[in-house]
Structure 1
Amino acid sequence: MELIVFDLDGTLLDKSSQISAFTRDTLALLRERDVAYTVATGRTLHGARDLLEGHGFSLPQIFKNGVVIWNPDQQGYSHRFLLTQAEIQHVLEGFIREGVAPFLFTLEPGDRHAIYHPPTLNAAESRLARMLGRDGPLPLEHLSKLPATADITNVSAIGPEPAIRRVVDSIADEEGLVAYMGSAIEGSDLFWVDIHHRGGSKGDAVTTLKEELGLKRVICFGDSDNDLSMFQLADEAYAPDNAKTDVKSAATAVIGHHDADGIAHFLRERFNL
């Protein structure tokens, strides 16, 4: 039996960050054929839950690029690679030296999630803080309130490209950390970055799911650098036309654009739906 693994943003979702009607209907057809599917995304559980609701995502789901796996049946995490404050403190200090406010996403006792950050330093950071505080279900707290017992799933930031690159370069040789970055939609001169435990890759999490579910083959869909680890282990890996060049090069084939239901059209042909 095969397992299909979807990245979300830039892959399964359209440009409005939604599952289109055509893709919704395609997922329903997969369920009718008993084709297993799940997600592997850089989003948090809380940032993806509403999107996935009602679309048959009943299998364990991979969040924060493989840092955690959420089991819907057990309503808990079955796999986690978390960071302590001591392991990430120098990264926070690096951001602050560069004039960039880091946002810390935590997993605390009782599976409580929260986001902590210092005062924002520019308009893009302020917009991000307002968005997280308004649209997200996670508490948004000042960094000074970070509990000593909190574990950190990831550190995210947005700022000028040179500043972001200097922070990323400063941890490039660290065995325990990995960083993903790219151009931010907030402005051509801004970059986003996400830093987390190196052990928590999408590839590692997909391997875990494959073994736990007893499945034979994996088919992956993704568009960005954080998808390459699962492309490497997949039996088939497909990149939408909007994917980064290195992701296209690693793919079995390049298929339609994410905003033209490229993944759904491919699935209908691939599985004769």
Structure 2
Amino acid sequence: MPFDRRNLLADCSNCFALCCVALPFAASADFAVSKAAGEPCGNLADDFRCGIHDSLRDRGFPGCTVFDCFGAGQKVSQQTFGGRDWRSAPGTAKQMFAALPIMRQLHELLWYLSEALALPKAKSLWSRLRASLKETEQLTERGPDELIEVNVGAHRERIAELLREVSDLVRAEHHGADHRGADLMGANLAGADLRGATFRGAYLIAANLRGADLREADMIGADLRDADLGGADLTGAIFLTQSQLTAARGDAATVLPEGFHRPTHWPAGVVRVDT
């Protein structure tokens, strides 16, 4: 039975604004001000909603618009801590804030594992992928004390190796370029044949990818902030997330993989998707 990914979609209405409190950010192009971990954002309202949600980009907070907790916020709020919020039960705050980044990493892994299980070219690995998904899901079910003790780094590395095997199978026929961890900030890759390439953990900040062929490229962990994807073809790109697209720039000619939507700040127009 296919894994239900709906629980890996952020549901802010069932979260106690954990990302707005638990996580730090520094004044930069992504955030108008600095904030320490555990300190509520100055824009946070009493009802746990963002007071400037509809104008975050205009007010200097584009970083907030691209953050994705993969459903970790509501999981920690409603399940791990049973619906107790950090304001009415301040004794839970420190532990709750520590739990969020761990849960987020586990949920992100669940997202990638479930995607891998839907890739026919990775069929030889499905048994191992199912076992890893089950193990990861069990970790998310732990109580607060056990959850914050999870060695998420070690677990993530084990999953990463398995996902690398998936990537190799999917991209095998293309012999694509290896750009793992590469510094491609501002690089001019316009119109480049990048089919089946791997950009795992690559820095593509402000890179020019206009009209590039990125079909079946591995995009896991690639930093696409302000990258120009205008007219690029992302058909079948693997391990791409919606937040990566939201951080980038594209247009009506950008071909998106199935299941993705065009970010609202991209120019309006008809968007093609692969079928």
Q: TM-score, normalised by structure 1?
A: 0.29
The structure with the largest alpha-carbon Rg is 2
The answer to which structure, 1 or 2, has the higher relative contact order (CA under 8 A, 6+ apart) is: 1
Specify which structure has the higher proportion of strand.
1
Q: TM-score, normalised by structure 2?
A: 0.29
